[in-house]
Amino acid sequence: DTEVTQTPKHLVMGMTNKKSLKCEQHMGHRAMYWYKQKAKKPPELMFVYSYEKLSINESVPSRFSPECPNSSLLNLHLHALQPEDSALYLCASSLDSPSYEQYFGPGTRLTVT
């Protein structure tokens, strides 16, 4: 398996909802990432997990909570989001660190109403 998969593809949630985004890879990669991408902008790094430990948190608000249950799975738990959080959320993975090739999943298009 040479792909990063993400579910769901689309998500609409209210500001009081709690939802989770899921990312999975079976390439044996030990680094996994969450990015946020707004329209016509580059991906912005949110979190980095290295060997299942959170190694980078780019000052992301606590309403976003990442979780790495094992080396193949990465979740992003969402709670009390704001409309400005609407974006494409991309997961990526690499063998060890960003200095190895980083592969992106198809993303979850999130709309907060």
Partner 1 sequence: GENVEQHPSTLSVQEGDSAVIKCTYSDSASNYFPWYKQELGKRPQLIIDIRSNVGEKKDQRIAVTLNKTAKHFSLHITETQPEDSAVYFCAASISDNAGNMLTFGGGTRLMVKP
Which is nearer to partner 1, 3 or 79 (by Cβ)?
3
Could you say whether residue 71 binds partner 1 (CB under 8 A)? no
Q: Which residue number, 43 or 66, has a Cβ lying nearer to partner 1?
A: 43
Q: Using only the alpha carbons of the chain, give its radius of gyration.
A: 13
Q: Does 63 bind partner 1 (CB under 8 A)?
A: no
Distance between CA 66 and CA 69 in Å, rounded? Answer: 10
Residue closer to partner 1 (CB basis): 1 or 101: 101
For residue 98, whether the previous peptide bond is cis, meaning omega lies within 30 degrees of 0, is no
> 19 burial class (0-12, 13-18, 19+ CB within 10 angstroms)?
middle
Region 20-49 residues binding partner 1, contact defined as CB under 8 A: 31, 40-45, 48
C-alpha–C-alpha distance, residues 25 and 30, integer Å: 10
Residues making contact with partner 1 (CB under 8 A) = 31, 40-45, 48, 50, 55-56, 90, 97-99, 101-107
